[in-house]
Chain A
Amino acid sequence: MSDLNEHNSGWGPLSSLPGNPIMWVLIWSELLVFGAALSGFAVARMLDVQTFDASQAHLDRFFGALNTMVLLTSGLCAALAVRVRSDGNSSASRWWMVYAILIGSVFLYVKIIEYGDKLDAGFDIETNTFFTLYYLITGFHFFHVIMGLIILAIVAWKNSLENLETGAAFWHMVDLIWVLVYPVIYLVR
C-alpha cells in the first residue's frame, strides 16, 4: 500500500486503512447504525420477550446460516481478488470478483424466498415489533447486499488495486454485519 499512501496523504489516521478512506467513514457509519439497531432489538426483546420468541420461531434458522456461509465464501473470493491483483494478475482478479458476485447473488435468492415465505404466512413489517425490526434490519442489510454487488461489478471492471480494496472493504462490511445480525435476530432465545 505504499504507493497508495502517496495520494492518500493528508487523511490522517484514515490513511492507514486499505482502499479509499471515505469508504471507511461509510463503514463506521454503517456499523454504528446496525449496532444501534441491534441494541434496540435487544432492548425491545427484553420488554416483550413472549412476542419476540414466538415470532422468532417462524423464521427459518437454517436459511440464515446458509446465507452466512454464502457471504463468507463470497467474501473469500473478494479477498482473493485483491490478493491476486496485488500480485499483478489482473485477469485472475477479475474472475475472482465474478465468483464473488455470483456467490453473493445466492444470498439475495435465498433471502427473497425467505421474505416470500414470511409474507405468505401473513407476517409483514407492521405485524409486531419483532417483525418491524426483522424487516428493517434484514431489509436494510439486503439493500446493502444489492449495493455491494453493484460496487463489486464496478471494481471488477475498473480494477485498480485501490478500487478493488475499496469495493472489497464494503463487501466485507456487509459480510461482517450479517455475521452479527444472524445470531441476534435468528438464534438468541
Chain B
Amino acid sequence: MKYETQKLAYPYFLAAMGLFVAQVLGGLLAGTVYIFPNLLAEAVPFNVIRMIHTNALIVWLLFGFFGAAYYLVPEETETEIHSPLIAKLQFWLFLFGAAAAVLGYLFGIHEGREFLEQPLWIKVAIVVVALMFLFNISMTLLKGRKTAVSLILVMGLWGLALFFLFAFYNPSNLALDKMFWWYVVHLWVEGVWELIMAAILAFLLIKMTGIDREIVEKWLYVIVSMTLFTGLLGMGHHYFWIGTPGYWQWIGSIFSTLEVLPFFAIVVFAFMVVRKGGRDHPNQAAMLWTLGCAVLAFFGAGVWGFMHTLAPINYLTHGTQVTAAHGHLAFFGAYVMVNLAIITYAMPHLRGMQPYNQVLNMWSFWIMSSGMVFMTLTLTAAGILQTHLQRVMGISFMEVADEIGFFFILRGLSGVVVVIGVLLFVYATLSTDKAQVRVGGMKPQAAE
C-alpha cells in the first residue's frame, strides 16, 4: 500500500462482508422456505426475505465497488483521494440508508416495486451517496495520472449512478413501467458493471503478474467496446413479453447472444496474462479468485445466459427456475467473485499483514464455488423439469412445484455449503494467522 487514503477502503470492505453474510443467511432462509413452504409465513413472509436477499446483495456489491475504487484509484492515479472526509461521510450515510431499508422491510415498509422496493427517501440518499462518491473519485482522477484502468472504472461508476436515476421514473402504464425498470439493475449487470469488473480484474492482473500495462489496456479497450456494443441492445431480451413491440424479440435475441463475447474475452485475457506474466505473486488466494471470477462469470453470465436468451426458447423458460439458476451463477461469478478478489488482494495490505490465512481463504474459494455451482445445477434441472411439465405439458404451477420439490432440497443443502464458505472467507480475511508475522503496511509490490 503506497497511499494513506487507500485505507478508506477498509470500512467499505468490512461493511461489504457483513452484508454479504446477511445476504447469504437471507438466501439460506429463503431456500428453506422452498422446502417448508409455511415457514415464517406470518412473521417474515417470503417476499420480504427475498427482498432482503436481493437488496443486501446489490448493496454489498456497491460497498465493495466503492471500496475497490478507494483502494485502486490512488495507486492508479498516483495521488491521494481528493477528500477523505467525504469518503467517510459517504460511508456512514450509505450504511445508515442500507440499515434503515432492511429494518423497514422487516416492518413491511417498502414501495413494492421489485428490486426497487426502497422508500423514496432512501433512493434520494443513494443518489446523494453516489454523487459524493463520484465527485470525490473524479476529482482524484482529474488531478492524477489517467490510466485506462481508472478511466474505465470511473466511466462504469458514472454509468451506474446515471442508470439508477431511472428508479425515480415510475409511469402508470405497466408496459412503460417495466421498460424503464429494466434500466436500473440490468443495464448495470449487462453494461456498466462489466466495465467496473473488467477494470478491477485488470488492476489485479497488472499488480499480481507484473505484465506490461500496455497489453492489459488494449485488452480492456477490446472488452469494453464489445460490452457496450452487445450489452445495451442485448438488454432487449427483457422486452420479449412485457407489452413492447414484437421487434424486440429479434433485437434482444441477436444482441444478447453476442453478450457471451466480452465474457469470453475476459477469460482469454485473464489466462493469457497469467501465462505470460507468471503466477508467483505471494497472494495466491487473490489470484485464485481473479481467475475463478473470469471463468465463472463466463459460465454464469455467458453460457447460462445464452441458454435461455433466444426468444423462442425464452417463450417456454421465462420465469422458471432456469432464470434463478442463471441469476445465481451470473451474480456470483461476475460480481461477487470480483469483489472477493479485490478484498482478498487488498485486505492484507490494509491490515498490515503478510498473506495471512491463505490456505483457509483458498478453501473458502473451493467450498463457496462448488456450493454455488451445485446450486446452479440443481436449479437448472428444476427449471428444465418445470418448463417441460408446466409449459409443454400444461400441468398447473402448484402441482409442478410439488414435482420439483426434490431439487429444492438439494438446493437448500448447497445453500448451507455456500454459507459455510462465506463464513470461512470472512474468518480467513479478518483473522490473524499466528504463523505469519505482522510486517506493517508497506509490503513490496510486484513489478508493474
Classify A-B as touching or not with yes or no (CB < 8 A).
yes
Interface positions of A (Cβ within 8 A of B)? 9-12, 14, 21-22, 25-26, 29, 32-33, 36-37, 40, 125-126, 132-133, 135-136
Interface residues of A: mostly helix, strand, loop or mixed?
A: helix
A-binding segment of B14-22, B58-66, B251-259, B415-423:
B251-259
**A residues less than 8 Å from B215 (CB atoms):** 10
Contacts of B229 in A (CB 8 A): 26, 29
> Which of A10, A22, A126 makes the CB contact (< 8 A) with B246?
A126
Residues of B within 8 Å of A26, CB to CB, are 225, 229
Residues of chain B within 8 A (CB-CB) of A36 are 254, 257-258
Interface status of B264 (Cβ within 8 A of chain A): no
| Closest 4 A/B residue pairs (Cβ) | A10-B214, A36-B254, A29-B229, A132-B247
Cα distance, A40 to B254, chains bound together (Å): 9
CA distance A5 to B253 in the complex (A): 38
Q: How many chain B residues touch the partner (CB < 8 A)?
A: 21
Pair A29/B257 contact, Cβ less than 8 Å: no
Chain B residues at the A interface, C-beta cutoff of 8 Å: 212, 214-215, 218, 221-222, 225-226, 229-230, 245-247, 250-251, 253-255, 257-258, 261
In the complex, are the beta carbons of B214 and A136 less than 8 A apart? no
B-chain residues with CB within 8 Å of residue A37 when the two chains form the complex: 250, 254
Q: How far does the alpha carbon of A99 sit from the alpha carbon of B73 in the complex, in Å?
A: 47
Q: Bound complex: CA of A32 vs CA of B233, how far in Å?
A: 14
Alpha-carbon separation in the docked complex, A33 to B259 (Å)? 11
- Whole-angstrom CA separation of A126 from B257 in the bound complex: 23
A14: chain B residues within 8 A (beta carbon): 222
CB atoms of B246 and A29 under 8 A apart:
no
> Contacting B225 at CB < 8 Å: which of A25, A40, A126?
A25
**How far is it, in angstroms, between the C-alpha of A11 and the C-alpha of B215 when the chains are bound?**
7
Closest chain-A Cβ to B253's Cβ sits at a distance in Å of 8
A10: chain B residues at CB < 8 Å are 212, 214-215, 218
Besides A9-B214, A125-B247, A132-B246, 5 more A-B contacts (Cβ < 8 Å) are A10-B218, A29-B258, A32-B258, A33-B258, A37-B250
Give 10 pairs: A residue, B residue, CB < 8 Å, sorted on A: A14-B222, A21-B222, A33-B254, A36-B257, A36-B258, A40-B253, A40-B254, A126-B246, A126-B247, A136-B251
**CB < 8 Å: which of B225, B250, B257 contacts A133?**
B250
CA–CA, A10 and B246, complex, Å? 43
Give bound CA distance, A150 to B221, whole Å.
Answer: 22
- Contact A125 to B245, CB < 8 A, known contacts A22-B225, A26-B225: yes
Q: Is the CB of A33 within 8 A of B218?
A: no
Within the assembled complex, what's the spacing in Å between the Cα atoms of A180 and B218? 31
Contact B247 A135 (CB under 8 A): yes
Could you tell me the distance between the alpha carbons of A21 and B217 in the complex, rounded to whole angstroms? 13
Which chain A residues lie closer than 8 Å to B253 at the CB level?
40
Closest to B214 in A: A10
**Cβ contacts under 8 Å, B218 to chain A:** 10-12, 21
What is the distance, in angstroms, from A151's C-beta to the closest C-beta of chain B? 15
Q: Which residue of B lies closest to A24 (CB)?
A: B222
Give the residue name and chain of the A residue nearest to B216 (CB).
A10
The smallest C-beta distance from A42 to any residue of chain B, in angstroms, reads: 13
Q: Among the listed B212, B214, B222, B255, which residue makes an inter-chain contact with A22, where contact means beta carbons less than 8 Å apart?
A: B222
User: Which of A14, A21, A32: most chain B CB closer than 10 A?
Assistant: A32
Q: How far, in angstroms, from A9 to B226 measured CA to CA in the complex?
A: 20
CA distance A175 to B289 in the complex (A): 45
Residue of A whose beta carbon sits closest to that of B215:
A10
A132-B221 Cα distance, complex, nearest whole Å? 34
Bound CA span A36–B214, Å: 33
> Which B residue sits closest to A131, measured CB to CB?
B247
With a CB–CB cut-off of 8 A, which chain A residues contact B247? 125-126, 132, 135-136
Bound CA–CA A85/B212 (angstroms): 34
A133 to B246, CA, bound (A): 11
CB closest residue in chain A, given B245: A126
Tell whether A33 pairs with B246 under 8 Å between CB atoms, given A10-B214, A10-B218, A25-B222.
no
- Say yes or no: A40 contacts B245, CB within 8 Å: no
B255 touches A33 (CB 8 A): yes
Cα distance A132–B215 when bound, in Å? 42
A12 to B258, CA, bound (A): 22
Contacts of B255 in A (CB 8 A): 33
Q: What's the nearest-Cβ distance from chain B to residue A101, in Å?
A: 24
List chain A residues, Cβ under 8 A from B214.
9-10
Residue of A nearest to B251 (CB): A136
CA distance A67 to B254 in the complex (A): 26
CA distance A25 to B225 in the complex (A): 8
Chain B residues, CB < 8 A from A135: 247
Taking CB atoms, residues of chain B closer than 8 Å to A125 are 245, 247
B217 shortest CB reach to chain A, Å:
8
State how many angstroms separate the Cβ of A7 from the closest Cβ of chain B: 10
Cα distance, A51 to B214, chains bound together (Å): 53
A5 to chain B, nearest CB (A): 14
Nearest-CB residue, chain B, relative to A32: B258
Inter-chain CA distance A59–B218, complex, in Å, is: 44
Q: Is the beta-carbon distance between A132 and B258 smaller than 8 angstroms?
A: no
B230, A29: Cβ atoms under 8 Å?
yes
- Please give me the residue from chain A that is nearest to B265 by CB atom: A25
Chain B: CB-nearest residue to A128 = B246
